Chains A and B, each alone.
Chain A
Amino acid sequence: MEEAIYKVHLEDIFEGPMDLLLHLIKKYEIDIYDIPIALITEQYLEYMELMKSMNIDFAGDFILMASTLAQIKSRMLLPAHDEENDDEDPRLEIVKPLEEYLRMKSVAEQLAERNLLWEDTFVRNHGQEDHLINQEDEIIKVGLFELIDAFQKILKNISPDIRLDITADSISVKDRIAQIVDVFEARGSITFDELFSKNSDKSEVVVTFLAILEMVKLGLVRIVQHVRSGVIRLFYL
């Protein structure tokens, strides 16, 4: 029955508003090229209520889609102004993305059905991770705390008289990343210290450090430290 209590695996099903829409379309066996917008909007809102009552947090995306649906619904109600300018079906606004989304979903399924390496088929070397393990005695992966330590050392090296300078042309983290990437493109790897020029002021140092953190987060670089020398080196991935 409709009223059945659903146990919803949020991450499995309604990962986003598109998923919820697709679910409704499938549930009511709707042709996506002829969506009864009033029904869908109503059902969509009902689900949002249901999710709310189950204390499921939903992101703003869900609300945005609800408002899009409501807007389409109201546009459908408006009479067309003149015959010539009979605009495209307002529903296209969601039909096109839905089509695209469905297409990508089936592409994803096709990909999953292939003979995946390390899942269905295997090769003789057991993945690149092995190489990393072999190097483990020489270098270690650097954690956040080692980075912060190294950063503090750099900060200490800034001469006090420069430290209070206010620079006019400060550089953004984004631009600094671009600069660092340029260096990487040319050299492939760089030591942590090299990234901080001797006469840079505090804001530059901070920006550079934030840039490094951001790059790590984006998976752009791998940071390792030599066990004996303690030199931290960044590798471009």
Chain B
Amino acid sequence: MEDIKNIIESFLFVAEEPLTIDRIKSILKQAEINEIQNALVELSEEYEARKGGFILREVAGGYQIRTRPEYREWIKRLIQPKALRLSKAALETLAIIAYKQPIIRNDIEHIRGVDCGGILRMLLERKLTRILGRKEIPGRPLIYATTKQFLEVFDLKNLKDLPTLEEIEALETESPENSTREIFRIETFEKGKNT
């Protein structure tokens, strides 16, 4: 097929969610998988070379046209999407679930040292996590895992795309200060100010 690249591009333009290669293949039956893959790579390279308003990202097992992050502030003037706005605590909880899944609440709370009930509920509501079932141990606790939405929001191809713990440790040893900086914020209370 000569215009396969254009056809795929038109799919990407219309698709509401990340488009998988399987899905494309199911429509373009005569195309080979590697033909589709090549077309996607080419498109991605073209967008990169063009340095335009959007890019092609591989997220949640599929491909999606997304706006170039540089233009975030402009877009926010055009539309006001529901921002994610996760608190540090929520992010930590989500990170634990992402790395340790499937995981039960008790194990999450063990790592964080605090009750996570409210956060877990909020993460479920936002569809960043889901319940896989119940663990067959006393109390039959719920088992948590991340969702496809999580991959989409965090711009991840799949769970393996998360940086490995080794990579993170390597990063830390490079800049040991970085990892804990900014975590603690204590404002010295200055008398006379803010009254």
A15-B89, A123-B66, A178-B134 known; A118 and B82 CB under 8 Å? Answer: yes
Q: How far is the CA of A174 from the CA of B142 in the complex (A)?
A: 11
Quick one: which of A16-51 are within 8 Å of B by CB? 16-19, 22-23, 26
Quick one: which of A93-120 are within 8 Å of B by CB? 97, 100-112, 114-120
Tell me if A122 counts as interface (CB < 8 A to partner B). Answer: yes
A230 contacts across to B, CB distance below 8 A: none
Asked whether A120 lies within 8 Å of B72 as measured between CB atoms, the reply is: yes
Q: How far is the CA of A120 from the CA of B82 in the complex (A)?
A: 12
A110-B168, A121-B66 known; A104 and B83 CB under 8 Å? Answer: no
Q: Which residue on B lies nearest to A9, using beta carbons?
A: B185
Tell me if A84 counts as interface (CB < 8 A to partner B). Answer: no
Tell me if A126 counts as interface (CB < 8 A to partner B). Answer: yes
Asked whether A102 lies within 8 Å of B179 as measured between CB atoms, the reply is: yes
Asked whether B72 lies within 8 Å of A59 as measured between CB atoms, the reply is: no
Asked whether B180 lies within 8 Å of A18 as measured between CB atoms, the reply is: no
Tell me if A237 counts as interface (CB < 8 A to partner B). Answer: yes
Q: Please report the total number of B residues contacting A with Cβ < 8 Å.
A: 66
Q: How far is the CA of A106 from the CA of B92 in the complex (A)?
A: 9
Interface centre among A15, A59, A124 (most CB of B within 10 A): A124
Q: Which residue on A lies nearest to B147, using beta carbons?
A: A237
Asked whether B88 lies within 8 Å of A108 as measured between CB atoms, the reply is: yes
Q: How far is the CA of A115 from the CA of B71 in the complex (A)?
A: 12
Tell me if B188 counts as interface (CB < 8 A to partner A). Answer: yes
Tell me, rounded to whole Å, the shortest Cβ–Cβ distance linking A113 to chain B.
10
Asked whether A218 lies within 8 Å of B64 as measured between CB atoms, the reply is: no
> Which 7 pairs of residues, A with B, have the shortest CB-CB distance?
A16-B114, A219-B124, A18-B113, A108-B95, A7-B189, A108-B91, A107-B95
Binding site for A on B (CB under 8 A): 13, 16-17, 57, 64-69, 72, 75, 79, 81-84, 86-89, 91-92, 94-96, 98-99, 110-115, 121, 124-125, 127, 130-131, 133-134, 140, 142, 152-156, 162-163, 165, 168-169, 171-172, 179-180, 182-189
* Known A59-B114, A121-B66; 8 more pairs at CB < 8 Å: A7-B189, A97-B113, A101-B111, A105-B92, A111-B95, A118-B153, A219-B121, A237-B127
